[in-house]
Amino acid sequence: MEEKPLKKPQESKSVKKTITAQKAPEFTYKPFQLQQFSCVGKSVLKIDGISLARGRALFTDDFQIPQVHYVKFLYSPHAHARILKIDTSGAEKIPGVVDIIHCFNSPQTLHTTAGQGYPEPSPYDTMMFNSTVRFIGDKVAAVLARTPQIADKALKLIKVEYELLPPLFDFEKAYEPGAPQLHPEPGKGYLAGMTYKPEENTCALVEINCGNFEAGIKMSDYTFDETFYTHYASHAMLEPHAVLSYLDEQDRLVIISSTQVPFHARRICAMILGIPERRIRVIKPRIGGGFGCKQEVFLEYYAAYFTLRTGLPAKIVLTRREVFRSTRYRHPMRLHLRVGTKPDGTLQAIWIDALMNNGAYGTHGLTVLSNAGSKVLPLVNKAPHQRFTGRTVYTNLPIAGAYRGYGATQGYFALNQMFDIIADRLNLDVVELFRKNAIRRGETSPIFEKLGEGKAGSRQDIESCGLPDCIEVGLKEIDWYAKRRKRLTDGTRVRGVGMACMMQGSGIPRVDMGSAYMKMNEDGSINLQVGATDLGTGSDTILAQIAAETLMVPIEDIIVKSSDTDFTPFDVGAYASSTTFVSGCAVLRCAQQIREQILGVAAEILREPAESLQMAQKTVRGKARALTFREICQYALYTENQFQIQASSSYVSPVSPPPFSAHFVEVEVDRATGDVRVIKYIAAVDCGTPINPRLVEGQVEGAIVNGISWTLIEEFRFDEKGAQLNTDFGRYKLFTAADIPEIKTILIPTYEPNGPYGAKSVSEVAMNGPAPAIANAIYDAIGIRFRALPITAEKVFQTLKTQSTR
């Protein structure tokens, strides 16, 4: 299409322009008055906190079982090769080696490891062991042995004959004619029939049009065209993946796993192993962080298969090197944005075109891609003409999967820089640009309806939105107008400020389901059993708070158990920012039923109508007298019309209310070294009612530091054969406590009518801010825009050296 010539804004050559729009407006923010709750909204102590801090809480590898044997994997040394022959005879002779499995003696069942609901919106393109290996780190064989050392020794004696195939590393060339084909085998693709083009190495294609982009861009006064790149990253949760499987006394298969999705794990294992779900019990103990990496079900079935074959307990504990090389990572993306605006910056048309690298297999290839549009475009709903196109391709590189932010992180890196570019070109305050274009309460976006997770989405109106307040409070806190475009300089060091706006969702509407079961005990305590999966987030605690609030009991009286497929009801698990909202609503509904039953029993005892009774502090007060919860429960269990006070409830939401956030950052760039130091980071967050403010802040701060670290220092380095070079924390550095800037989280409460006690999600949204906010701040400081991540000191230094600034 013809590029419309840009109208030249005034004074565009001047660097330090005086900008009339950038005066500090009057500060008018008045905090929303939170409804007074007894337990919700309080920073109660995380219920498993002390046991974790004492080292008593058990993680998967802490379970010790007699006779346990260990699993070790043989990984492909080639990026792309066909396995012709595997000779295990030498390895089998080693004393202590019990069993060896590989593609010639294990189930060849196509599936996806994505760990999503059924039928998964990810292509079925992998097997336990594939006879073609597609990246350095693909599993070739597994050994079960008495000790990990014996298993390691056996691996060295397995002889594999490979036929090398040409590798494909450049994802931008993956769909060109003549590129090596990674998945030519027939039968691969989506259960639900989504577009799958293996002949173009393409595992997902998306196209959505709202309005008419071409017409919109023609009508625009200014057009912008930019390309951005985001990179691979490791989740780097501290606990490496672990699985322990064994047969219980009834020969049922028990799988203890560091999983975010115990119920999906059960379903996928049943399918691969060819046994019914009734024979499998998946237990989720304490989990040492996940961030999406443990949503994938790619280890459980190896341990389980060994246990079924040998009758022996089997344990897998990945090393950090294995976590870096053979698990899942953030999807690298190329984002091409075209935007048309009016002279005042109002968006007329926006098109996001995303090309995503999924690595060797297509897990989350369609949905992460879609989220780069579906979680991003609705934020700028003022543009009448919106378009999202995307393609996900295979390469012979490590497998990408779910990672906190899930495509939105990549999309917001592009959108927020685009806004900064537009503001700069039109001589506007970027904050004003967001005020003009961002979605508000009472509004909607057609994208919600058109673009879902592998299918059409779900229409929704925004019923709570604190974004304008987030912006206003953040501006003040960073002192925006005193610092923006000032380039405060000290020797070689220059300061700049940048900002970013973002949203996420709260679960997948009409897809994600959570459920809860509760029963009352004689002392008035309540067992709360949830399939929701606390992986360190504190979801057990906030779900207990929701229950305690509803039943007016102290939090200590809620005994939480999560998650055990034998004893807790179904929940999709911890992903898509769903737990607080979806599982929280299930708990709320369940607790309301318990409340009614308690009042019903009290009414029977007191012979008063239930409606006239008051519940408070573990008592029910009638006209005549008050009953304690103990009296009520004892009556229900022992006295008359006996029954167990108990209830269960499920919840699936037609909507996915977005949490909103505005981030502001001040950086200091050393022009002599290229070093970028984050000085101050402000995150103002609207997650509705913060059920537990401390835990909310923790989610935000964790995401911010993860994001800063990803932006500035984390980077996968590959050699020319496709092998990742930095597979330990010595060479893949993370931010430490000594590296963090001053970080301030400001909660901007709103009340989301669809959420439990007004709550929305918060776990992912803050991940979307650091990369673009920092890139924008660097531009503010030195006038150089970094469109590709990461922005390492080395890269800044090189760019400063070679590029003359404006």
Residues lying near another protein in the complex (CB under 8 A):
43, 45-46, 48-50, 52-59, 61-62, 64, 149, 235-240, 286-289, 291, 317, 319-320, 535-538, 694-695, 697-698, 701-706, 728-730, 734-740, 743
CA–CA gap between residue 579 and residue 246 (Å, rounded): 29
Taking the least distance from each CB to another protein, the nearer of 351 and 403 is 403
State in angstroms the smallest separation of the CB of 288 from another protein: 3
Taking the least distance from each CB to another protein, the nearer of 630 and 733 is 733
Taking the least distance from each CB to another protein, the nearer of 510 and 677 is 677
State in angstroms the smallest separation of the CB of 364 from another protein: 20
Taking the least distance from each CB to another protein, the nearer of 619 and 768 is 768
Taking the least distance from each CB to another protein, the nearer of 563 and 597 is 563
DSSP 3-state assignment of 237?
A: coil
Taking the least distance from each CB to another protein, the nearer of 58 and 672 is 58
State in angstroms the smallest separation of the CB of 729 from another protein: 3
What string of DSSP letters covers 497-512? EEEEEEE--SS-TTT-
State in angstroms the smallest separation of the CB of 40 from another protein: 16
Taking the least distance from each CB to another protein, the nearer of 537 and 583 is 537
CA–CA gap between residue 270 and residue 249 (Å, rounded): 19
Distances (CA, A) of 560 to 342, 398, 525: 54, 37, 11
State in angstroms the smallest separation of the CB of 136 from another protein: 20
Task: Sort strands 526-530 and 513-520 into parallel, antiparallel or unpaired.
Answer: antiparallel
Q: Is the dihedral of CA 792, 768, 467, 750 positive or negative?
A: negative
State in angstroms the smallest separation of the CB of 534 from another protein: 9
Taking the least distance from each CB to another protein, the nearer of 52 and 271 is 52
CA–CA gap between residue 586 and residue 579 (Å, rounded): 10
Taking the least distance from each CB to another protein, the nearer of 61 and 686 is 61
Max CA separation in the chain (angstroms): 87
CA–CA gap between residue 537 and residue 479 (Å, rounded): 32
CA–CA gap between residue 396 and residue 80 (Å, rounded): 6
State in angstroms the smallest separation of the CB of 60 from another protein: 11
State in angstroms the smallest separation of the CB of 246 from another protein: 18
Q: b/e for 635-663, b at 16 or more Cβ within 10 A?
A: bbeeeeeeeebbbebbbbbebbbbbbbbb
CA 797 from chain centre, in angstroms, equals 32
State in angstroms the smallest separation of the CB of 46 from another protein: 6
Taking the least distance from each CB to another protein, the nearer of 15 and 50 is 50
State in angstroms the smallest separation of the CB of 154 from another protein: 16
Q: Are 295 and 145 in contact (CB under 8 A)?
A: no
In sequence order, what are the beta bridge partners of 530?
Answer: 516
Q: Cite the beta strand spans of 428-545 per DSSP E.
A: 489-490, 493-503, 513-520, 526-530
Closest of 199, 290, 295, 300 to residue 242, by C-alpha: 300
φ, ψ at 801 (rounded to 5°): -70, -40
